[in-house]
Amino acid sequence: MSKLTAIVLAAGQGTRMKSSLSKALQPMCGKPLLEFVVEAALEAGADEAVVVVGHQREAVTEQLARAFGERVRTAVQDVQRGTGHAVQCALAALNSGTHSVLILCGDTPLLRALDLRALVSARDVGNLELAMLTCRVADPTGYGRVLREAGRIIGIREHRDATEEERRNEEINPGVFCSRLDFLRGALANLSPNNEQGELYLTDIVTAAAKVSEVRGVAAPSETLAGVNDRAQLAAAEEAMHVRIADRWRREGVTIRSGVKIDAGVVLECDATLEHGVVLRGKTHIGARAFIDVGCVLEDVLVGAGAKLLPYSVCSRSTLGEAARVGPFSHVRPDTAIGPEAHVGNFVETKNTVLHRGAKANHLAYLGDGEIGEGANVGAGTIFCNYDGFQKHKTTIGPRAFIGSDSQLVAPVTVGEGAYVATGTTVTKDVPADALALSRTHQENKLGYAARLRARLLAKAKRG
């Protein structure tokens, strides 16, 4: 069976990024820029992809292996001798059975699979040696121009090699081709560095193809073909991708207000609502009918069906159960599991803590390294004293226990089922089930003393 293989050119350093990180690995919407290009090729029908790497090749190769496994391999371009040379470097890595090749640039993350499918179809249906995407832009400065004669594509002229008349042409080459492999091998073998840069231009294969058959041009929107060369272009591409991602989920039945930022790896279920300014990162999964209010930031969080996050809550690497309620202004730190119908409220911070079904901590608490039983209540100002300066220790609160406000639980400690901890208590030893823990100093009221105290303090202030 004949195969379609994608060749993705990603060997460059991307010096205009002014970054120690390779351009291919620059983050965009939660993943490296290069991954969007590879995904588009695979979604368009490529059986596999060969990515041409150079700068930071080990890091790029490792990232591709994590993301795509064996469907993507790499080929090395040690010396940058042009785009034609880069494709030559990839040929040896192609598996047997490859009949057609998609050639893409690794810095075009907005490339759409539907445009690639149209390109592949145009080459296949016409049984052509080569087809290419084209587009028109208002300012073509810097782009290679598509040359036509009587409407037929006859070649591409790079901007620096073009005449003034050719530079007025607004139809450009975005660098996306589909070619029959046998033709491509021969055309690449005949490339010559006869140009201002002394490089092997991939675009010269267009002239070679036009001499033996039609070169089909497939028009695509210019905004989807834009390359990313600096941070400003990266920001613009990310903004466009955020809009694309949000609109996709809106069509799937999710309510998404303005200003929401959703990473590419996020999953949303029907009837979820994201209010203004929500940011969802990583592998976050929002369940059906969940409500995420204004300004919440979630990273790698599983939110159960019908859960509600109130404004400006921050959650990471945690699980929120069905109908759970979090916020406002809560901080749910990694390895927290908030059970079904459990509540974590105003200015409560959790870390590595489990709240079972219906447990509540509604106000001003720190719950670190703990387990809170079903239906238990943790009062305002409670602190789990979990760190002794060297190790973390666990606090366990039994089902239906009640922890009074402003209590300190010095771990390791267990409060039994149904027990009460009185307000202001410091718990240093286990509390049995159904017991009352009470730890307070004796209160003494000195009648009439307040007036004398005020007078003394006022006199001292005047002397000072």
What is the DSSP code (8-state) at residue 454? H
Task: Select from 3.30.70.1290, 3.40.1280.10, 2.130.10.10, 2.160.10.10 the CATH code of 231-437.
Answer: 2.160.10.10
pLDDT exceeds cutoff 90 at 260: yes
Residue type, 299: E
Q: How confident is the model at residue 77 (pLDDT cuts 50, 70, 90)?
A: very high
CB contact at 8 A, 332 and 318: yes
Determine the number of helices (DSSP H) and then strands (DSSP E) in the chain.
9, 42
What's residue 161's pLDDT? Answer: 87
What's residue 2's pLDDT? Answer: 61
- Residue labelled with tokens 């976050």: 284
> Which residues, in sequence order, are bridge partners of residue 4?
100
How many C-beta atoms lie closer than 10 Å to residue 389's C-beta? 4
Q: How confident is the model at residue 1 (pLDDT cuts 50, 70, 90)?
A: very low
331 is a catalytic site residue: no
Could you read off the pLDDT of 87-135 as tens digits, one per residue? Answer: 999 999 998 899 999 999 999 999 999 999 999 999 999 999 999 999 9
What's residue 441's pLDDT? Answer: 84
- Domain map of the chain by residue range? 3-224, 231-437
pLDDT exceeds cutoff 60 at 28: yes
Q: What is the mean pLDDT of residues 307-327?
A: 98
Kindly name the residue from 285, 363, 393, 442 that is annotated as catalytic. 363
Average pLDDT, the chain: 96
pLDDT exceeds cutoff 60 at 306: yes
% helix, strand, coil for the chain, step of 5: 25, 30, 45
Could you read off the pLDDT of 218-232 as tens digits, one per residue? Answer: 999 999 999 999 999
Task: Select from 1.25.40.20, 3.90.550.10, 3.40.50.280, 1.10.10.60 the CATH code of 3-224.
Answer: 3.90.550.10
CA atoms of 81 and 198, how far apart (whole Å): 8
How many C-beta atoms lie closer than 10 Å to residue 8's C-beta? 29
Q: How confident is the model at residue 342 (pLDDT cuts 50, 70, 90)?
A: very high
Three-state DSSP class for residue 115: helix
| Strand pairing report for 171-172 and 130-136 | antiparallel
Helices (H), 254-353: none
CB contact at 8 A, 332 and 315: yes
Helices (H), 112-258: 113-126, 164-167, 181-189, 204-210, 231-251
Could you read off the pLDDT of 42-65 as tens digits, one per residue? Answer: 999 999 999 999 999 999 999 999
Q: How confident is the model at residue 269 (pLDDT cuts 50, 70, 90)?
A: very high
What's residue 193's pLDDT? Answer: 86
